[in-house]
Structure 1
Amino acid sequence: MSNRLLIRGGHILSMDPAVGDFPRGDLLVEDGRIAAVGSVLSGNGATPDAEVIDATGFIVIPGFVDTHRHTWETAIRGVAPDATLDDYFVEILDTFAPHYRAEDVYNSNLAGALECLNAGITTLVDWSHINNTPQHPDAAVQALRDAGIRAQYAYGSANTSLSDYWFQSTIAIPGDDVRRVRETYFSAGDSLLTMALATRGPGFCVPEVVEAEWKLARELDIPITVHVAMGRLAGRFGMVKQLSDMGLLGPDTTYVHCCHLSDEEWELVARSGGTVSIAAQVETQMGHGWPPVVAAMDHGLRPSLSIDVVTTVPGDMFTQIRAAFAAERARGNAVFWERNEAASGLLTARQMMQIATVNGAHVAGLESRTGTLAPGKRADVVLIDARAINIAPVHDPYAAVALCADVSNVDTVIVDGAVVKRAGRLLANTARARDLVESSRDYLLGQVEDAKKPA
């Protein structure tokens, strides 16, 4: 089989100003890397041996990047549709999480990663705070590998007790096991899989644990991701200010949610070079606070989007784009309404596409590899079927994807040059993945029901 792939005749949105967009363009992939993007690459003798994908009538975009998802929760999808954040800690972390076996993590990560690919999410930050045994991270990483997704595996704490792990916890993430996982799975430099540390941070942990976990990540030269400023739980802790006072801020840290950061804390994040992940549907639905997309941008940051938990919200990026877009424009419009002025300077559909792609790659530390359709980048590419009745006729391709498309329009998905979805169907064994995750669902529900029975 040829190691060259030509995507021909699509409406290319490169998300790279230096490359630009092509209403009818070609994209050439060689050995998993984007070799060329332009108006006419076919027919000039340069691509005789390439496999051709006819993209006429399709919008060609970089793969979406989800910068924060607890993928292990796929087996309990939809169990907490009406939950607040307070409810989530009890209903999920104190009820289901203690019963998770390593195989349940594998089954969930496999099905969850395939769900991402099906929805055009080619890069995932897997915030994996379910490491109840050393076998749990092994299972999580293996599932990501088997799915064929580009992923940053963020090693988190165990979750066998809410009081032990989330109420001023004195239990640090086990450094020896983090080192083992890094050496075993992440020693290669240029791979689909990279590693991070998913920390709980001040307020949830005592200062000694916070310092130990930050020190561990920096010893191993892996990035850090932490939830901050969300709802009553983390909003009241002033976590970024505490981290600053401890001398721990740095460009290696992603701050998730950020709904209640003070102006001082925003400045601290920006000056330290930190990055931001926003889960708009969760934040508005579960009571974390308003998605702070504009606040992040106003402080010179490049916010990204994430799904967070499928226990309560959908697992696709289209939902997140629209939730963030609507929430921020609602807030902006309200300000102008109160002033009795015409609204101006609001978020645009084009900005939301940037946030969902190249900004996500920036936040995941992978902007040199993915996030745009530019020569030299790895080929993470999605074809959106713009002929479909919910998209046609197309006037603005950015609006067509950001505001009209849904998962049903994700026709073709390519990760690192490999086609993983073609003609609307994943090439993976989805029946097996569904059977596995359903078996975990049944086991976990049974365990929870047994635990409720009187002794």
Structure 2
Amino acid sequence: MAGNPISRTLLKGGLLLTHGEDNHVHPVVSDLLIEDSIITQISPQIELNSTEPTTRTIDCTGKIISPGFISTHHHLYQTQFKGKHANHTLLKYFPGGHYASSLFTLSDLFWGELGGALEALDAGTTTVVDHSNVNHTPDYPRTAIQALLTSGLRTVYCYTFPRRVSSWAPFAAADDMSSPWVLDTFASLAESAPFDGRVHLGFGTDNVFLPAEVMKPMFARIRAAPARLITLHGAAGPAHSMGPGKPAPSIAQMLELHGLLGPDILVSHANYPRAEGAVPGMEADAKLFGRPHEVAPKISSTPNTELQMGWPPVALMPEYRAVSSLGVDCHSWGSGYMPLQMNLLLQHARNERAVGLAREDKWSRNVGYDVEDVFNLGTIDGARAIGLEGEVGQIKVGLKADLVVFDTDTPTMLAAAVEDPVAAVVLHSSPRDISFVIADGVVRKEGGKLVDVEVAPAVGSGEAESVVAAGTKLSWGDIGREILRSRESLKKKLEGIDMVAAEDAVMAQIHMNKVALID
């Protein structure tokens, strides 16, 4: 079955994690009615007229129903690289993971993208900002979008300038910002977006250290397309400094310098925020992100990768909390489960607070941050960060039916779900506790297993150019076999490449501070 064809679905008797006007979570036992893709009724007892259209009823008695999780920074295509980066820093990841995307064929991209999207849905994530790095020809973004449409995931697909490796020995790579087809293809795709109402189009770029005469017309064209949002990596720290005590200007500061900072800007990571003076006369990051929400840029913190890279996440810092959200970043580094990101951020922030107090020979009876803080970052605040607060992020009549149904009688959830359902989700749950996932009103996971998918028609090109013919039914087993075949092919292409030499070349290319490197 390729998704649920029934136009109405009634969830009976579940514990809904709703948000009030105060943005606090208010658990309530209630029925919930979905018509097509919309939540149309929430009531203690919904009775349907037997003469009305066929309705599927799902008994949710004793279960927790959460808003679908929102990952605001994710590289979905990287499925074939899972397990490679367990002990990698950013430097080691660059040649063996990030730049290895230059080796992807259309087939590699389709299966990697589809696998990443389905992993997200399996784990209850129903909306993803997909920062894509695999746009070698016009057919690559079309293939990625086709995979996303096939999966059923709600996405902001962020198209990027092609990032190509022209030589592995010696290593040389560059972004293609001059070929006319690049922005022409983006503009053409934007005319048809959102695809199927679910796949929006955004833009991803890290090319901000360019002259104003290059940046301004480029951003003007991207925004005119239009792009729903523009996302950029904001890596920082000693590796990206210009010397001791000389931090490089931040992404936000550079955009502000060119008059390009705005509410459609989403900065991933934003670690090691800059003070005034990194750019002469420029405001500190705290002031730039501290503007009123309707004009402020936004932040996506990705705790799993950031902590591994030595980048303290900023999402719970008071100066950045109002504009922050959470993302997975690379599911090739670790779990794509959003409650794990919540958990990591929460305990990191609690520890940082306690360590800071200890430095002053103080301590506290309180932890400082509670589970609701991080639950909201992965739901309602994620929607606000990407401009979809009127569609998703909470359980509310009139919004899209993006929902996660948790069993509460499993060994991990038992007792915790009764004591505190939000804590149960954030601190105790795992993907195996999720019995149903509904995205855009369609059941995508049922009985703890992903539902089969049907390949969507190709976007902006003929079906002959599709990796898999439209209409083909695929089970997870089918998809998994193709992902493993693709992994073997990519592994062979990478054999024999001197990764240490490539790392040295990357350091020079992106101006990392080699003087401060200790090993």
Give the TM-score taking structure 2 as reference length.
0.80
Taking the aligned partners of 2:51 and 2:232, their CA distance within structure 1 comes to 47
Gaps of 5+ in 1: none
Within the candidate set 171, 193, 196, 2:199 is matched to 193
Q: Which residue of 2 aligns with 1:357?
A: 379
Q: Secondary structure at the match of 1:152?
A: strand
Q: Find out whether 1:430 has 2:436 as its counterpart.
A: no
Q: Secondary structure at the match of 2:322?
A: coil
Structure 1 residues 44, 141: CA separation in 2 closer, same or farther (over 3 Å shift)?
closer
How many angstroms does 1:183 deviate by?
A: 3.0
Q: Find out whether 1:242 has 2:254 as its counterpart.
A: yes
Q: Which residue of 1 aligns with 2:108?
A: 104
Q: Secondary structure at the match of 2:86?
A: coil
Q: Which residue of 2 aligns with 1:253?
A: 265
Q: Which residue of 2 aligns with 1:24?
A: 29
Q: Which residue of 2 aligns with 1:81?
A: 86
Q: Which stretch of the first structure deviates more once superposed, 249-258 or 188-197? A: 188-197
Q: Which residue of 2 aligns with 1:224?
A: 230
Deviations 1:182-229 (A, max 9, x none): 5347525571110100011334x5655544442222121211000114
Q: Find out whether 1:413 has 2:437 as its counterpart.
A: yes
How many angstroms does 1:322 deviate by?
A: 1.0
Within the candidate set 245, 248, 269, 2:289 is matched to 269
Q: Secondary structure at the match of 1:241?
A: helix
The amino acid of 1:147's aligned partner reads S
Contact 1:10 1:56 (C-alpha < 8 Å) held by counterparts: yes
How many angstroms does 1:418 deviate by?
A: 0.6
How many angstroms does 1:157 deviate by?
A: 2.4
Whose Rg is larger? 2
Q: Which residue of 2 aligns with 1:319?
A: 340
The amino acid of 1:87's aligned partner reads K
Deviations 1:83-102 (A, max 9, x none): 101111122234x2221112
How many angstroms does 1:311 deviate by?
A: 2.5
Contact 1:10 1:55 (C-alpha < 8 Å) held by counterparts: yes
Greater share of helix residues, 1 or 2? 1
Q: Which stretch of the first structure deviates more once superposed, 32-41 or 46-55? A: 46-55
Q: Secondary structure at the match of 1:110?
A: helix
Taking the aligned partners of 1:282 and 1:105, their CA distance within structure 2 comes to 22
Structure 1 residues 188, 76: CA separation in 2 closer, same or farther (over 3 Å shift)?
closer
Taking the aligned partners of 2:58 and 2:443, their CA distance within structure 1 comes to 10
How many angstroms does 1:336 deviate by?
A: 2.3
Contact 2:301 2:315 (C-alpha < 8 Å) held by counterparts: yes
Contact 1:172 1:213 (C-alpha < 8 Å) held by counterparts: no
Q: Secondary structure at the match of 1:251?
A: coil
Contact 2:300 2:315 (C-alpha < 8 Å) held by counterparts: no
Taking the aligned partners of 2:405 and 2:444, their CA distance within structure 1 comes to 12
Structure 1 residues 265, 163: CA separation in 2 closer, same or farther (over 3 Å shift)?
farther
Deviations 1:105-154 (A, max 9, x none): 11100011000000000011110012122221111111001111101100
Between Structure 1 and Structure 2, how many residues are aligned? 448
How many angstroms does 1:46 deviate by?
A: 11
Q: Which residue of 1 aligns with 2:514?
A: none
How many angstroms does 1:21 deviate by?
A: 3.2
Contact 1:22 1:39 (C-alpha < 8 Å) held by counterparts: no
Give the TM-score taking structure 1 as reference length.
0.91
Q: Which residue of 1 aligns with 2:457?
A: none
Taking the aligned partners of 1:119 and 1:315, their CA distance within structure 2 comes to 7
Contact 1:182 1:195 (C-alpha < 8 Å) held by counterparts: no
Gaps of 5+ in 2: 242-246, 276-283, 453-474, 500-519
The amino acid of 2:261's aligned partner reads L
Q: Secondary structure at the match of 2:32?
A: strand
Structure 1 residues 448, 188: CA separation in 2 closer, same or farther (over 3 Å shift)?
closer
